[in-house]
Amino acid sequence: MTHISDTEECRRLARNVVSADFNDTQIQSYQDKEYSYIATMTDKDDWAITDREYGALQLIETNLVASDIIKHYGTQETIPMWEALRATAMNDLTMLINNLDTETETADFAAEHTEHKGWGLNSSIEAPNRLGASDTDIESF
């Protein structure tokens, strides 16, 4: 399976709270599950290092994996810690998902061609009558 977080980073973060024995395979199992969750929520499963969200997703996945490990291997005293870690990660994921709809380069913002506004360069606009009088009004001179 696939994941984008670093296994050692997940271990370090979880070890700050729990000292239970867990190996790389167990951590990677959580990494794969959380990556699957992120892919489902973002509707994208081919995250690449060139994506602007990649680094943020790595941090989110790391926090989610660490919270899973703390939840699984922790004690009653660690419940508030994994809940807080998970809540922060989920909030970050929600904000990232809300920002995914924001495109930086769309046709609405990219001006490929703009019509000239002035009558001197745009033949479809008539020149203004600067005299202020009509052709039939000869009294206003």
Q: Is the pLDDT of residue 33 over 90?
A: yes
Backbone angles phi, psi at 36, to 5 degrees: -60, -40
**Mean confidence (pLDDT) of the chain:** 82
Question: What's the half-sphere exposure (Cβ side, CA atoms, 13 Å) at 49?
Answer: 1
What's the pLDDT score for residue 134?
A: 58
What's the pLDDT score for residue 139?
A: 58
pLDDT for 65-80, tens place per residue?
999 999 988 888 888 9
Q: Is the pLDDT of residue 12 over 80?
A: yes
What's the pLDDT score for residue 102?
A: 58
Q: Is the pLDDT of residue 105 over 70?
A: no
- Confidence band, pLDDT 50/70/90 cuts, at residue 21: confident
pTM: 0.68
What's the pLDDT score for residue 115?
A: 64
Q: Which residue did the predictor score with more confidence, 58 or 108?
A: 58
Which one of 3-12, 45-54, 55-64, 122-131 scores highest in mean pLDDT? 55-64
